[in-house]
Structure 1
Amino acid sequence: MKIKYLFAALVASLVIVPVSCDKEPDTGSEEVRVEGISVNPSQLTIKVGETDTLSYEIIPADAENKNATWSSQNERIAIVDEDGIVTGVAPGTVEIMAHSEEGNFLDMAEVTVLEAEVRVNSVSIDVETVRLFPGETYPLEYVVEPVNATNTDVSWSSGDESVATVSTEGVITAVAIGETEVTVTTVDGGFTASCTVLVLDIKGPTFTLEMVPIEAGTFMMGAPETEPGYLGETQHEVTLTRDYYMSIYEITTTQYAEFLNSNNIGQEGTGEVTYIDNGEEVTAVKLFVSDCTLPDVSLGGAWDHALYWNAEKDMWEPVPGCEEFPMGHVSWYGAVAFADWYGAELPTEAQWEYAYRAGTQTVYPWGDDPEQVNDYAWIYAADGQMPVLHPVGGKLPNAWGLYDMAGELMEYCYDWYSELGSEPVTDPVGPLTGEFRVLRGSCITHNYFYCRSAYRNEYDPEKTGAGGLYGFRVIMYE
């Protein structure tokens, strides 16, 4: 019985102290909160149009909320998407920020956006052909396209360095007679351009000018005031003490083209010339010649009777049909440069008039009768012809064998222009300096009035002349 009561008591106690099985046990742990955020890398450099990726880390690493959002401080420089991919928009520096969702913690990376790389697509050289003589140099110029290419570096090479070498700056040096190619190559893309280098065996002309000897002497230069057409050409005595030779004809287009091409005078028509001014020797780059086919030079095509630039051949050539015409569209400096190349000079004004008169003191070299002008000069009134040029030597020469000193083209003389004095002079060369150079003779737009032996004019030495009506001949001494 005692055992039975004890069992009953135990059962009663179990009923009195109930136990719940639904509640989890208390472990004492809490949720891990976000304490910060770190962006990696802290600095980034990209180019316009390029992309790169930023990442972030939530601190601490075991924080439960690892969400964050990206933003750009200036989307005109760079943008960023939800995955941290940054795209460069324009050159500049911008902060790209990451914001934690929990706690709104912030960190950022400095992003620098550089100009996009612009690739080279071509290269060109400024000339197709360079003509040099051994020992001469020529600096080539090149253009890399597009002009804003990132890497415009080039290298230079010569196909035959025994003929010509080329420096890292593109300066050609002629070594020996022959022909080779000089090539420029771009570092970016390996694009190339080449020019032909011709090293010539002569520098002087291949032609010989026909000359007539002129003996020294004394004459009356200018005209008496009673002469018909007198324009203030004060008459005075001039003595020339040196014999000289004068070219029988005016210099022709073919002869002048050889001079230009032999001296590498390019399309711009400029070159280096040495001359005397104010008693001193001056060397300068001047305009020599104009392309007579250009509308503003030929006056709309009416005066295209000299030289033009042949771009395909990279050289000067006479206009077809004008190969033996006197050379017009040339400046005084261009005439001086030709004379120096040939080993000659321009005549002084006194030498020119002395040769034109050919021992006469009449109004014209042939006498006083203007009606004979048609026999000696191509001018506007001759045979009722329109003012056009003709091959040199088509009319009669004067008594000393000189052709076309009247008509065709007016001719440059050495002197600066000034009014003539009345006192006797010996070997005059004009004033030391001035504004204009002397022109003598007449041209195809003139009538007989301008064919007088004393007629003189002036012109700007820097210009080649509207219509190209100014030419020249040269003199030489023994």
Structure 2
Amino acid sequence: MKHRARAGGVALLLVCALFSGCPRKKAPDADFSADKTTGPAPLAVQFTDLTAPGSSPVTEWRWLFGDGAESAEQNPAHTYGAEGVYTVSLEATSAAGANKETKTGYITVTEPEPEPGQVETVMLPGDVPLLMVWVPAGIFQMGAVSGEQGAQSDESPRHEVTLTKGFWIGKYEITKAQWAAVMDGAAPWEGRGNISDDPDSPAVWLTWEDCAAFTARLSVLTGKAYRLPAEAEWERAGRAETNSRFYWGDDLDRLFIGENAWWIENTWSAGERYAHTVGLKIPNTFGLHDMAGNVWEWCQNWYYPYTVDPVTDPRGPATGDSRVMRGGGWFNNEAECRLANRTYKIPQYANYGTGFRVAR
């Protein structure tokens, strides 16, 4: 027996087709996120599918990572091996259709991070080399250990410091030759006492303002942002993963300081009353020379008292009266050459033992 459709039913179907009262199939609305969108190569990224499924479950995913690689996983991980900016797309497909989300320039991969202690050579005018050493990000204990021999009150409390970014710092203190290559005009040490004529000895008789002017000029010459190291960066670089008084150990009996540092016993007491040629003493494990003795090194930040609280990327107060100096000088005893030791002077202060090294 055959059944015929009634005319009213056909009309009803046509009405449903023309108006929104009847359900329609909805395609997915593709979307995604990443746990990180920038970093040095190799950069491992975890992608997460955030697609709204629509009227049907998503059954297929097609990821294009922008470097020629793709994936069909829902939540893939991908490692970018080369520096660059990458556009990422996700196409999600269900029984109701497909939809694609594209994020232009979503992933930025920078050059690979150097190895700890890696050296970079920057050529200054006149073919004068400036050697920079890479110090990695990390966590360290800043300040003197309780009961440390020779410690001063402002080296406490010892506290945890996190540096979230690695940085470049000078392998040596800035020399007279490097100063002359960068700066115009008379050298600040000319006509002053207690200086060496060796062009590879540290530039001295420098105020903090002199050092800031040098880093500004160096930045213009090289196109890179040079500066003085922050005090926390200086101690991180000087310690090179150690927790002792010096980077070569506690040396309570002063048995090894002479082969690691220029200090009062092998300069002033020996009749050599000046800062000595850089790089002649044993470096620390990052490869940095003269982080103890030779010249006091200006730091970027204003002097401030420590607190016990952990800190991240400390730069000190915004204003102050005196700038921090670190490392001790050729005319100092061993206590003043310790890694935790700190002093401070007004920015206009200078003598035969004030110098610096650069950072960026």
What TM-score results when the alignment is normalised by the length of structure 2? 0.60
Q: Root-mean-square deviation (CA), in Å?
A: 1.8
Instruction: Tell me if 1:440 matches 2:338.
Output: no
Pairing 1:385–2:270 present? yes
- Aligned partner of 1:327 in structure 2 is 203
Which of 291, 301, 312 matches 1:426? Answer: 312
Query: C-alpha deviations, 1:183-228, integer Å up to 9, x for none?
Result: xxxxxxxxxxxxxxxxxxxxx7443311111100000000123111
Higher relative contact order (CA 8 A, sep 6+): 2
Q: Is contact 1:373-1:382 (8 Å) kept?
A: no
1:358 maps to a residue whose letter is A
**What is the deviation of 1:291?**
4.2
Say whether residues 1:254 and 2:130 are aligned partners: no
Q: Secondary structure at the match of 1:371?
A: coil
Is the partner of 1:327 in helix, strand or coil? coil
Q: How far did residue 401 of structure 1 move?
A: 0.3
Distance in 2 of aligned mates of 1:470 and 1:291: 10
| 1:405 counterpart letter in structure 2 | M
Counterparts of 1:373 and 1:416 in 2: how far apart (Å)? 29
Report the number of matched residues. Answer: 225
Find the residue that maps to 2:297 and give its secondary structure.
strand
Q: Take 1:443 and 1:291, find their aligned partners in 2: how far apart are those partners?
A: 16
User: Is residue 345–residue 475 contact of structure 1 (8 Å, CA) maintained in 2?
Assistant: yes
Aligned residue type for 1:392? V
Equivalent of residue 220 in structure 1, options 118, 141, 145: 141
Instruction: Tell me which amino acid in the other structure corresponds to 1:453.
Output: L
Q: 1:255 to 1:461 in 2, by over 3 A?
A: same
Q: How does 1:273-288 map to 2 (within 5 A)?
A: none
Alignment equivalent of 1:356, drawn from 218, 228, 238? 238
- AA aligned to 2:203 is M
Per-residue CA deviations over 1:372-431 (Å, capped at 9, x if unaligned) read 111110111138523332211111111110001111101000010111111100000011
Stretches of structure 1 lacking an aligned partner (at least 5 in a row): 1-203, 268-288, 306-320
Q: Could you tell me how far 1:462 is from its partner in structure 2? A: 1.4
For the structure 1 residues 368 and 431, does the alpha-carbon distance in structure 2 shift closer, same or farther, using more than 3 Å as the test?
A: same
SS of 2:321's equivalent in the other structure is coil
- Between the aligned partners of 1:341 and 1:260, the Cα distance in structure 2 is 7
**Alpha carbons 2:189, 2:203 under 8 Å: kept:** no
Tell me the SS of whatever aligns to 2:148.
Answer: coil
Task: Return the alpha-carbon distance in structure 2 between the equivalents of residues 334 and 423 of structure 1.
Answer: 33
Which letter maps to 2:190? C
Secondary structure at the counterpart of residue 209 of structure 1: strand
User: Where does residue 193 of structure 1 map in the other structure?
Assistant: none
Q: Aligned residue for 2:296?
A: 410
Cα distance, 1:339 vs structure 2: 1.4
AA at the equivalent of 1:471: G
- Tell me the secondary structure at the aligned position of residue 454 of structure 1: coil
Whole-angstrom distance in 2 between the partners of 1:424 and 1:361 = 17
SS of residue matched to 1:413: strand
Q: Distance in 2 between matches of 1:336 and 1:291?
A: 16
Alpha-carbon distance in structure 2 between the residues aligned to 1:436 and 1:259? 26
CA distance in 1, matches of 2:189, 2:356: 18
Provide the C-alpha distance between the structure 2 equivalents of 1:392 and 1:354, rounded to a whole number of angstroms.
Answer: 20
Cα deviations across residues 154-177 of structure 1 (Å, max 9, x unaligned)? xxxxxxxxxxxxxxxxxxxxxxxx
Q: Which runs of 5+ in 2 are unaligned?
A: 1-123, 220-225
C-alpha contact (below 8 Å) 1:389/1:444 kept by paired residues:
yes
The aligned runs of 1:336-347 (5 Å cut-off) are 336-343=212-219, 344-347=226-229
3-state SS, counterpart of residue 210 of structure 1? strand
Find out whether 1:240 has 2:122 as its counterpart: no
Q: Share of identical aligned residues, percent?
A: 38
CA distance in 2, matches of 1:214, 1:304: 30
- Kindly provide the amino acid, as one letter, of the partner of residue 364 in structure 1: F
Counting only pairs closer than 5 Å after superposition, residues 137-156 of structure 1 correspond to structure 2 as none
SS in 2 for 1:475: coil
Query: Residue 55 of structure 2 aligns with which residue?
Result: none
Greater CA drift, 346-355 or 382-391: 382-391
Matched to 2:233, the amino acid is Q
Aligned pairs (5 A) from 1:25-36: none
Match in the other structure for 2:188: 290
SS in structure 1 of the partner of residue 145 of structure 2 = coil
1:89-128 per-position Cα deviation (integer Å, ceiling 9, x unaligned)? xxxxxxxxxxxxxxxxxxxxxxxxxxxxxxxxxxxxxxxx
Q: Using the alignment, how far apart are the partners of 1:363 and 1:240 within structure 2?
A: 21
Conservation of the 8 A alpha-carbon contact between 1:381 and 1:448: no
Aligned residue identity for 1:255: Q
User: Deviating runs (4+, > 4 A) in structure 1?
Assistant: none
TM-score, length-scaled by structure 1: 0.45
